[in-house]
Amino acid sequence: MNLLIRRSRVSVAPLLVALSVLHAGGAELTRGYTLEKDIPYRTDADSYQQERCRLDVYHPTNRTGFATVVWFHGGGLRGGRKSVPTQLKEQGLAVIAVNYRLFPKVKAPAYIEDAAAAVAWTFKNIKRFGGDPDLIFVSGHSAGGYLTSMIGLDKSYLGRHDIDADRIAGLIPFSGHTITHFTPREEAGIPGEQPIIDKLAPLYHVRPDAPPLVLITGDRELEMLGRYEENAYLWRMMKVAKHKSTELYELQGFNHGGMAAPAHSILLNHIKAFLKTRSSGKPE
């Protein structure tokens, strides 16, 4: 199968994007890795928060100093559950798979606050699992991509936990809204076809000093309405703001759901490139 990727013109070294699924199936626990489940990352008294604000830590057991991916599931901010993506297993990384509270039991910005709390927990705790707190990447698909961009571009959410969002090694949202997400729009009585850019939109928080940003969508003709174009607009505005490391990928032939599998290969290649640059001592 051939995979055609449209990539924005940007001055960086080309990266190989592999289509193949790296580790399909198999046991969740394999030699050299372990999975620690349902760790609470918020300790407030609210029962729904206690139920949903939990995460799983999948990490190597035979090495230290590894990078970590905090992974947010999709589901429109109203469904879904945490899981470690198969493509990220046995890659020498830790993966933090996060549950967060959902609409209609909560409304914005509760789920964004949960995402920030989970990332803050990772910064404060990954070292005890063997990970490097300076090598934390944040990613997620669909609603998870939206949460990734929001907590990385709007510094206020992590700031409440005394974490500087600029410490994130990379933001890699898969097919996430960059305008205001359709769920907060619904909460405000705004039709899904009416685009809004307000403080609940990643586009509202464009800034030149943000962490490296890699935007990935499916085919513009197969994606959810306008999802590619939203991401292209964020890419353009980050370039206008003189952000030095924003990239955009369009995965030809893949729809909103199907783009996630090949997108993981892009994520892994960007992490590998980042680590190679870091180890060589060159500016990132």
Instruction: Tally Cβ neighbours within 10 Å of residue 18.
Output: 14
- C-alpha distances in Å from residue 113, one per residue of 76, 97, 147, 159: 16, 16, 9, 11
Asked whether residue 55 is domain-assigned, the answer is: yes
Residue 125 pLDDT > 60: yes
Q: What pLDDT does residue 6 have? A: 59
C-beta of residue 159 within 8 angstroms of C-beta of residue 165: yes
Q: What pLDDT does residue 7 have? A: 65
pLDDT tens digits, one per residue of 98-108: 999 999 999 99
- C-alpha distances in Å from residue 49, one per residue of 91, 111, 140, 181, 183: 31, 10, 20, 22, 19
Higher pLDDT among residues 284 and 43, named by residue: 43
Q: The CATH number of the domain where 99 resides is what?
A: 3.40.50.1820
Q: Calculate mean pLDDT across residues 75-92.
A: 98
Asked whether residue 281 is domain-assigned, the answer is: no
Asked whether residue 236 is domain-assigned, the answer is: yes
Q: What pLDDT does residue 43 have? A: 85
Asked whether residue 283 is domain-assigned, the answer is: no
DSSP per residue, 108-131: TTHHHHHHHHHHHHHHHHGGGGTE
Residue 138 pLDDT > 50: yes
pLDDT tens digits, one per residue of 32-48: 999 999 999 998 878 99
> pTM surpassing 0.85?
yes
Q: What pLDDT does residue 54 have? A: 98
Q: What pLDDT does residue 27 have? A: 31
175's torsion region: left (phi>0), alpha (psi -120 to 50) or beta? left
Asked whether residue 120 is domain-assigned, the answer is: yes
Residue 81 pLDDT > 90: yes
Helix axes 143-153, 110-125, angle to 10 degrees: 70
Q: Calculate mean pLDDT across residues 218-234.
A: 97
CA nearest to 130, candidates 44, 214, 52, 34: 34
Percent of the chain with pLDDT over 70: 88
| H/E run at residue 146 | helix 143-153
Asked whether residue 65 is domain-assigned, the answer is: yes
Asked whether residue 79 is domain-assigned, the answer is: yes
Q: Which residue range forms the structural domain that includes residue 267?
A: 18-276
Min mean pLDDT across 6-15, 94-103, 265-274 is at 6-15
Cα 259 to Cα 269: distance, rounded to the nearest angstrom = 16
Domain count across the chain = 1
